[in-house]
Amino acid sequence: MKKLIFMTAIPIGIISSCFAGEPHWAMNISAGTNIVGVTLNELDNIRAYRSTDEYLYDWDPKIATSVYLSFTPEYYITPKFSLSTGLRITNTLSKYESNYSYFYYKYKEDGCDTYYSRIKSIDQSNFYVGIPLEFRFTIRGTDRPSPYIRAGAVLNFRCSSSTKTNLYRNDIDYTPDTDNIIPTADNFAMPVYCAAGCQIGHQKSFGVEIQFPYTVAIGSMSSFGDTNNFGGGIQITYQFAKNKSEE
């Protein structure tokens, strides 16, 4: 009986405390960076350098790195629960390279003539405009460092891409055309993540959080492979125009 009362009272107490206080708005400006692993796809125009039993494409583990800036109004339903959405601009960088000095890339075929280029790496940058949607639960809302946990997703729409090919030999007077052969990243991608952070400073205006796990659940943010591996990130936030009531 005591156990039943104990197990019932605690969740009721937590839930009821969450609804104390009045709803209010805040505005966030955030900057952050994420890293996620890339599972490379086979590209038709890249020559293999190892036999099947030596792992065909035994590249080093590859990552895609994103940096972003967000502008997100946040609505505190209660001092502990809040929703935010807004605008995020993201730039994602990924690289295709071998763990040798170069790889062979077939860039042209002309009758019986075939042309390879020795390439050190191919760098790609994808620019996205996205709509984040986040839920935050503030663990302690009193006027001291306030830890919180957050879950979110971003609907990212690719606006532009650029590719740079780094040749092995700099004295070659040509640039192989990789744009038509390297596939473009998906036009739509949706990263999802969980985060744990802390709001600090006067009126808890500053926030620092660690995002983990971070993964791209839908689509890929790299042309070179899938970005649905687990990664992480870090974000700093400045929150202003607060008019909250303290708990």
Partner 1 sequence: MKKLIICMVAAGLFAACEKSDSIDNSIWIADPDDSGLPKYTEWGYNTFGAQMGTSYFSSCWRDTPFTMEWHDNDSTLELTMNGCQTYKGRYEWLIKEDMSLTIIIPCDSVIDSFKKLYLLNGKFFDLTNPDIKVLVRRDNNPQEIVSDIRSGNFYFKRVQMLYVDENFEKVIVSGTFDIRYVRDGEKTWLSDGRFDLGVTQNLFW
- Which residue ranges make up the site for partner 1 (CB under 8 A)? 47-53, 56, 98-104, 109, 112-118, 167-169, 172, 174
d(CA 141, CA 148): 9
Shortest distance in whole angstroms from residue 119 CB to partner 1: 10
Q: Which is nearer to partner 1, 114 or 160 (CB)?
A: 114
Q: Which is nearer to partner 1, 17 or 45 (CB)?
A: 45
Q: Which is nearer to partner 1, 110 or 246 (CB)?
A: 110
Q: Which of 123, 180, 189 is nearest to 159 (CA)?
A: 189
113-138 and 87-97 as β-strands: parallel, antiparallel, unpaired? Answer: antiparallel
For 242, the 3-state DSSP assignment is coil
Q: Which of 123, 137, 98, 228 is nearest to 182 (CA)?
A: 123
Residue 19 φ/ψ, nearest 5 degrees: -95, 10
For 133, the 3-state DSSP assignment is strand
For 226, the 3-state DSSP assignment is strand
Q: Which is nearer to partner 1, 19 or 115 (CB)?
A: 115
Q: Which is nearer to partner 1, 60 or 246 (CB)?
A: 60
Q: What does the block give as tokens for 50?
A: 């190892």
Shortest distance in whole angstroms from residue 220 CB to partner 1: 24
Shortest distance in whole angstroms from residue 48 CB to partner 1: 6
For 138, the 3-state DSSP assignment is strand
Shortest distance in whole angstroms from residue 43 CB to partner 1: 13
Shortest distance in whole angstroms from residue 223 CB to partner 1: 22
Q: Judge contact between 72 and 134, C-beta under 8 A.
A: yes
